[in-house]
Structures are given as C-alpha cells and as structure tokens.
Amino acid sequence: MTSDEMDDNEIDDEGRLHLAMVPTNRPCMSCGASGSNLQWRLSGRTYVLCRRCLSAFIEETNQSLGANDPVSSGYQAAEGDLYVHEVRPGWFNVHRYQGDAWEYVTVLQKPQADQLVAGLQLVGESQGIQGQRCYYREIVAPAQRNTPMMDAAEIALLLKAAIPIDDVDQMLAPGLSFIVIWIDISERPDLQVLAEKDGLADGYSICTYFYANPGKRNMRLGLRVEMRQPVHFVLPLVFKVSEYIDQLATMSEYGNFWVVPGPPPAHLVGST
Ligand SMILES: [Zn+2]
C-alpha cells in the first residue's frame, strides 16, 4: 500500500475526524455550487463539497463519532470498560476502551445488549446529541492487558456478537491456498463496505484467534478480525470446528482467508 492510496485523515483523541483536504474547482457534490471547493478522500472515495455543505458534513460526522457528548461527572475510562450506545431504536453500538481509546466492537439488538451488560457494573452515563451512552466495567478488575491475549469476558462478548457464517470453502493451489468465508451481514449495515468491489484491497487488519469448549465435540474456534485501514471495524467470526475442520486447517497452515458477504453462489454450495 502506498501512502497516496490511503486516506490521510486522522481521528484525534476526542474522536474528531480530521479530513485532509485540497482545493478544487470541481462542483459541490451536495448543492452543485462551483468555484473554490474542497476535495478529500474517505474510505477510498473522493468527495467534493463547498465550504457551507462541508461545515454541515463535519458537524454531522463529529456528532456521529460522539465528539461532543459530555460524559457524566466523575467517570474515568479504564482499560476494558464498555459503553453501550443506542444508535437507533432497539440497536446498540458497543465500544470498548483499549489502548487509551474507545474502539468500536459491534452492534447488538436490545436482547443481546442486555445480555452483554448483565453482570457488569454501570459506572457512568452520558447524554449526548446522539443519545444516551451507558458505561460498564467488569466487577472484578480485569488484569492489565499488555498482550493481545483475550480474557474470558472478552471471548464471551465475541461469541455473543459473532456474525453468522453462511459457508466456508477453500481454494488449494501451489503457493496460494486460502479459505473463503461467506458471512451474513444483513444485521451489520456498517459492514456493507465488504460488498464493495476492491473496497478493502489495500487495507490491513489485525487478527486474533480465540476458542471455546476446547477438545470437546462442540468446540468453537473464533477469529476476531480488526480492520484498521481503510475503514475501521471489528468482525467477530466463530466457526464450529467439527463442521469446518479442513478449511480451518488450511487457514492455520497458510494464514490466508477472504471474507465476503453471503450467501455463496449456488454452484459452489456443497463443493467442499
Ligand atoms: Zn455545497
């Protein structure tokens, strides 16, 4: 990946998105105004807006990132804290505080969100333009996380939030063997980027494996894919080991996998 293929944008400590812009004479994509407009790239796309439309866009973006939300007095974020934020009726975004920043984990519907916070301690609340956030902490202080190892609570969260897998297939070829994972993104509108052709071709991600019920017939192998560029999201996947043993062996041997929105094309179903 070369630097000009990446967005030069940054999100600061307070969650504000800073866009790297250049002047352009192209017309505003929103109101059509011509003249001295500004152009930038975001998630691999080019945008042109006049200054007035741009101000409205920045305000909206900052609000959606929560930059302006006041946090209730006395609350201090600690490593491993979660906050749950109702983004639209019945839908909750979950963020986790790790490495001194709030990272998006997943979106859950109310029953799953309730299940997630059951047994956690409510340690703060905030009321912002985008709605209420509730902050939670494990009742027993989590061990200091200096390694990417996951603790039991985090594994439980990922198992609950896992995205349904439609099918897993494998391609075996000399020098290039990989598995293809078809996932159901119907409940994850934020993952629509996966459906966009070449959207993530230059991206990079951090993958962490985890497991549940080791050595048992119902063993699950989990894979947490954290996409860092060009967009940021966390994709928790959980495989039934007994069902996908060959494909998982291929993935562990070659380290290559490809995640695409399902369902798989009919001619591939049952080909493994
Ligand atoms: Zn405009």
What's the gap in Å between 230 CA and the centre of ligand 1? Answer: 26
- Return the structure tokens found at 142: 């989590």
Mean pLDDT in the chain? 70
Q: Is the pLDDT of residue 141 over 50?
A: no
| Single-letter residue type at 145 | R
What spacing in Å lies between the alpha carbon of 37 and ligand 1's midpoint?
A: 8
Domain boundaries, the chain: 10-160, 162-268
Condensed to tens digits (0 to 9), the pLDDT of residues 152-168 reads 666 677 777 777 777 77
The rounded distance, in Å, linking the Cα atoms of 211 and 78 is 26
3-state secondary structure of 64: helix
Ligand 1 geometric centre to CA of 40 (Å): 14
Give 271's pLDDT tier (boundaries 50, 70, 90): very low
Residues ≥6 apart with Cβ < 8 Å to 180: 168, 169, 170, 171, 257, 258, 260, 264
Taking a 5 Å cut-off on Cβ, the residues next to ion ligand 1 are 28, 30-31, 33, 50, 53
pLDDT above 50 (res 6): no
CA of 54 to the centre of ligand 1 (A): 7
Answer whether residue 89 shows pLDDT above 60. Answer: yes
Burial class (CB in 10 A: 0-12, 13-18, 19+), 39: middle
Mean per-residue pLDDT, 181-190: 74
Cα(195) to centroid(ligand 1), Å: 29
| CA 56 to ligand 1 center in whole angstroms | 10
Question: Is 136 exposed, middle or buried (CB count within 10 Å of its CB: 0-12, 13-18, 19+)?
Answer: buried
**13 CA distance to ligand 1 centroid (A)?**
29
Arithmetic mean of pLDDT, 23-51: 82
Segment among 24-33, 66-75, 235-244 with least mean pLDDT: 66-75
pLDDT, position 1: 36
36 CA to centre of ligand 1 in angstroms? 11
Residue 245 pLDDT level (bands cut at 50, 70, 90): confident
- pLDDT, mean of residues 247-254: 74
Q: What percent of the chain has pLDDT over 70?
A: 57
- Tell me how far the alpha carbon of residue 19 lies from the centroid of ligand 1, in angstroms: 17
| Ligand 1 centroid from CA 50, angstroms | 4
C-alpha span between 182 and 258 (Å, rounded): 9
Residue 145 has pLDDT above 70, yes or no: no
- Most confidently modeled range among 5-19, 20-34, 178-192, 223-237: 20-34
Give me ligand 1 centre to Cα 34, in Å.
8
pLDDT at 215 over 50: yes
